[in-house]
């Protein structure tokens, strides 16, 4: 009897192991899909206008430095990231270099993603493996002088790129102890996954974000549109928005004037913030309201 039990156990244990492994993978894939939404990968890596396959690249991102064309990140071995390992992927996100060691242009927001935690990266990687491979070829960026000169990236990295782990820092003293965890989650969503500062923080001539004006808005955002100041300044930012106003805006795109977002933020609401949990939207709102107010009016330059 005992022997028979042992035999059964030996026979079936490996299968039980595989089943548990499969369930763990499933969970990782589901979490990875959420990370994918929160990190907004779809927008730059999918040419929706040109009816390109999801994540097959080709979306044109117009910037003051020229046009960047998002690459194919499907698991295609020749044109996508099918030949990559998790180590390659982690290095791309956290250090901003390709598996071959070439630095990426910071249009790929690795300045933000550098602080992604390893669990999120592994989950995102697991989910990306489930994407339909597409053999869409990558296209060269079309950049103005001198930005097309790739060696500038090295200088830029030396001056402005500081990789490292995420540290939310200290919450403002006014924040209650019960909100601390929410605030830290909000900081991670805004600063890292959501990479909000990549558009909402103004940049200098070499493309470095001015951290003293964090989320203070940019007159020259991607797609040629001004990007609003989202710090809590009453006159020039979103100081008059309530937490509920911000949460509602992130969910469905309606601002307190009853206007609905279009353009790049419309995409972000559709692909990212509208897909987050209400708790995460609340965390973002709480964090934004806690930021130092930047008094800075942003509008398109006249003419």
Partner 1 sequence: MNIRFSFTRKLLVPTIAVVVAGVLAVPSLAATPSETVKLRQATMKKLGEHMNAIKEFAMNGNGSAADVVKRAGEIGEVAAGIPALFPEGTGMDEVKDPKNGARPEIWLDWENFEKAAGKLETESKSLAAAAEGGDQETIKLAFQSLGKNGCGNCHKPFRIKLEK
Nearer Cβ to partner 1, position 197 or 228?
A: 228
> To the nearest whole angstrom, how small is the minimum distance from the Cβ of residue 216 to partner 1?
12
- CA 119, 123, 126, 131 dihedral sign is negative
What is the maximum span of the chain, computed from C-alpha positions, in angstroms? 90
CB 111 within 8 A of CB 161: yes
Q: Closest distance between partner 1 and the C-beta of residue 255, in Å?
A: 8
Query: From the CB of 300, what's the least distance to partner 1, in Å?
Result: 5
Q: Give the shortest CB-264-to-partner 1 separation in angstroms.
A: 9
CA distances from 217 to 69, 182, 236, 294 (A): 24, 24, 9, 9
Comparison of 184 and 270: residue with beta carbon closer to partner 1: 270
CB nearer to partner 1: pick between 100 and 258: 258
| Contacts to partner 1 by CB under 8 A | 223-226, 228-229, 236, 248, 252-254, 256-263, 265-267, 269-270, 298-300, 302-303
Q: Side-chain half-sphere of 59: how many Cα atoms within 13 Å?
A: 25
Nearer to partner 1, 20 or 244 (CB): 244
Contact (Cβ atoms closer than 8 angstroms) between residue 192 and residue 112: yes
What the block records as the tokens of 160 is 């402005």
CB of 164 or CB of 303, closer to partner 1: 303
Q: How far is the CB of 25 from partner 1 (least distance, A)?
A: 33
- Rounded to a whole number of angstroms, the minimum distance from the CB of residue 266 to partner 1 is 4
User: Any long-range contacts for 86-94 (C-beta under 8 Å, 24+ apart)?
Assistant: 86/121, 86/122, 86/125, 89/121, 89/125, 89/128, 90/118, 90/121, 90/125, 93/121, 94/121, 94/163
Question: Cβ closer to partner 1: 25 or 270?
Answer: 270
């Amino acid at each position: 009897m005992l022997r028979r039990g042992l035999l059964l156990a030996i026979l079936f244990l490996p299968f039980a192991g595989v089943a548990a492994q499969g369930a763990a993978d499933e969970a990782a894939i589901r979490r990875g899909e959420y990370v994918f939404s929160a990190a907004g990968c779809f927008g730059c890596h999918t040419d929706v206008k040109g009816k390109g396959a999801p994540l097959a690249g080709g979306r044109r991102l117009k910037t003051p430095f020229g046009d960047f064309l998002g690459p194919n990140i499907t698991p295609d071995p020749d044109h996508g990231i099918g030949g990559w390992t998790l180590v390659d992927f982690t290095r791309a996100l956290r250090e901003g270099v390709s598996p071959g060691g070439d630095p990426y242009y910071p249009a790929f927001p690795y300045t933000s993603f550098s602080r992604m935690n390893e669990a999120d990266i592994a989950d995102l990687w697991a989910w990306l493996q489930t994407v339909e491979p597409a053999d869409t070829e990558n296209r060269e960026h079309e950049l103005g002088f001198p930005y097309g000169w790739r060696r500038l990236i090295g200088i830029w990295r030396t001056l402005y790129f500081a990789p490292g782990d995420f540290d939310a820092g200290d919450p403002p003293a006014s924040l209650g102890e019960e909100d601390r965890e929410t605030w830290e989650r909000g900081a991670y969503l805004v600063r890292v996954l959501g990479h909000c500062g990549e558009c909402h923080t103004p940049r200098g001539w070499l493309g470095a974000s001015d951290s003293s004006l964090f989320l203070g808005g940019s007159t020259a955002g991607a797609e040629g549109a001004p990007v609003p100041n989202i710090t809590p300044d009453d006159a020039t930012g979103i100081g008059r928005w309530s937490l509920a106003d911000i949460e509602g805006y992130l969910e469905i795109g309606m601002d307190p004037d009853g206007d609905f977002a279009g353009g790049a933020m419309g995409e972000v609401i559709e692909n990212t913030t509208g897909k987050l949990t209400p708790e995460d939207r609340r965390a973002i709102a709480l964090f934004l309201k806690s930021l130092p107010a930047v008094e800075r009016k942003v509008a398109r330059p006249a003419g």
